[in-house]
Amino acid sequence: MTVSGSINIEVVFALPDRQKLVSLSIDHACSVKEAILKSGIADKFPDQDIFSCSVGIWGRAVQEDQSLREGDRIEIYRSLLIDPRSARRQLAEHGGFMGRHSQGQQPVNKVGESSRKGQESAR
- Per residue in 14-67, pLDDT (tens digit) is 988 899 999 999 998 899 999 999 999 999 999 988 888 999 999 999 999 999
Instruction: Note whether 88 and 64 are same-domain residues.
Output: no
Same domain, 108 and 68: no
Between residues 72 and 82, the one the model is more confident about:
72
Same domain? For 7 and 67 the reply is: yes
* pLDDT at residue 64 in the model: 93
Are 61 and 7 members of one domain? yes
Confidence at 118, pLDDT banded by 50, 70, 90: very low
What single-letter DSSP state applies at residue 23?
A: E
Domain check: are 7 and 62 in the same one? yes
Paired with 57 in beta bridges are: 60, 74
The total of structural domains in the chain comes to 2
For residue 52, give the CATH number of its domain: 3.10.20.90
Question: For residue 49, is it within any domain?
Answer: yes
73 & 96 share domain: no
Same domain, residue pair 32 and 51: yes
Per-residue pLDDT, 83: 76
Residue range 74-103, pLDDT digits in tens: 999 987 777 778 878 888 887 776 665 555
* Contact indicator for 20, 44 with CB cutoff of 8 Å: yes
Domain membership of residue 37 as a residue range = 3-77
Please check whether residues 48 and 105 belong to one and the same domain: no
Q: CA 87 → CA 14, 53, 81, 83, distances in Å?
A: 21, 22, 10, 6
- Same domain membership, residue 59 and residue 20: yes
Return the SS3 of 6.
strand
Q: In terms of domains, do 71 and 85 share one?
A: no
Residue 57 lies inside a defined structural domain of this protein: yes
In a domain, 63, yes or no: yes
